Amino acid sequence: MIIVMRSGATEKEVQEVCDKIVQLGYKPHVIQGVERTIIGAIGDERGKGVLQSLETLPHVEKVVPILQPYKLASSEVKQEKTTIAIGKDVVIGGKKIVVMAGPCGVESEEQLLETAEQVKKAGAAILRGGAFKPRTSPYAFQGLAEAGLKLLAKAREKTGLPVITEVVDPHDVAVVEKYADILQIGARNVQNFALLKKAGKAKKPVLLKRGMMTTIQEFLMAAEYILSEGNPDVILCERGIRTFETATRNTLDLSAIPVLRDKTHLPIIVDPSHGTGHWRYVAPMAYAGIAAGADGLLIEVHRKPEEALSDGPQSLKPEKFAEMMKHLKAFAEAADRKL
């Protein structure tokens, strides 16, 4: 249920309603709107009728049931788009398209710092790089772990770019949060509920990737796990789903972007690198993602893709990334955004 406060309700009045929600056995989530404050009451739906009594409180305008199974992620709860500030200068979900770029895996200090400088020069706003690498094969490169996190922090210090990196194990959330500006939860962990709950208690934004065989409702329910634990800063990432097609690594579901835009207030990022698996298809799908309404992109860039320890075939060389960024500006403007 959502409790809509009357216009002009004070913090004290909002707190009084929150206290009442707790007394009724529910968890309150306060959402500050442009004109009014809304409080989401989350808990067992079987007793939702008792929440209707909150309409009798003098500062409550109305109590409205949320029809979707995902409550806090639903556009029923919040009609305005959520914007998420990253560092001092980056806002995801605003007017400006945000591009996150860098290598799939952090391999060495030289590799990471060189790539960071190049993607920044081309216009990227956030540096991506994996320190923990969940791989299909146990014999493949698994990442540098905390040593990789330290290199990401060093790259941020030298370039000023905020960093995003993946967290795989619930026990690693604290150490990744220590070094990263955004925690990424990968496709294989979209329904790792212990990890989602742990990320929900983190103080850093979370980028949640859609699973390979995850429906949009399941995707939003995964986001709900994070939101319900108290972390309001969730970024959704469409990175392709598994279909019968073999010409590409995955099938990038661009139709998910307008669907998500309709169903949720959360910002949406597109990952055309994993979505296609081939570097030559990355730029066209990046343009299409922005045209479809995405708030940003996640792009893999490697100085020598043929020598990359992970995902070389889908990584753009720095010069190709710079070329893509030049052309992307026109697509951003056509979508009434800026780059």
User: How many angstroms separate the most distant Cα atoms in the chain?
Assistant: 67
pTM > 0.85: yes or no: yes
What pLDDT shows up at residue 32? 82
What pLDDT shows up at residue 44? 78
299 bridge partner residues? 101
Cβ partners under 8 Å of residue 62, min gap 6 = 3, 4, 55
E strand or H helix at 118: helix 109-122
What pLDDT shows up at residue 270? 98
Backbone angles phi, psi at 166, to 5 degrees: -85, 145
In order of their start, the domains of the chain are 2-64 (3.30.70.1140), 84-334 (3.20.20.70)
**Cα-based distances in Å from 188 to 133, 184, 337:** 11, 11, 31
What pLDDT shows up at residue 141? 75
Backbone angles phi, psi at 148, to 5 degrees: -70, -35
Residues 181, 234, 151: CA angle, nearest 5 degrees: 20
Tokens of 251: 């099938």
Residues 131, 128, 275: CA angle, nearest 5 degrees: 100
The whole-angstrom separation of Cα 328 and Cα 284 is 10
Q: Give the pLDDT of the chain (339 residues) as one tens digit per residue.
A: 899 999 989 999 999 999 999 999 999 999 887 778 999 998 877 767 788 899 999 999 999 988 889 999 999 989 899 999 998 899 999 999 999 999 999 999 999 999 999 999 999 999 999 998 777 788 777 778 899 999 999 999 999 999 999 999 999 999 999 999 999 999 999 999 999 999 999 999 999 999 999 999 999 999 999 999 999 999 999 999 999 999 999 999 999 999 999 999 999 999 999 999 999 999 999 999 999 999 999 999 999 999 999 999 999 999 999 999 999 999 999 999 999
Cα torsion 314, 316, 321, 327 to 10°: value is -50
Residues 29, 30, 31: CA angle, nearest 5 degrees: 115
Cβ partners under 8 Å of residue 181, min gap 6 = 86, 87, 126, 156, 162, 163, 164, 204, 205
Buried b (16+ CB within 10 A) or exposed e, 280-302: ebbbebbbbbbebbbbbbbbbbb
Cβ partners under 8 Å of residue 158, min gap 6 = 113, 116, 117
Burial class (CB in 10 A: 0-12, 13-18, 19+), 146: middle
Backbone angles phi, psi at 73, to 5 degrees: -80, -15
Tokens of 131: 């320190």
Instruction: For residue 88, give the amino acid letter.
Output: K
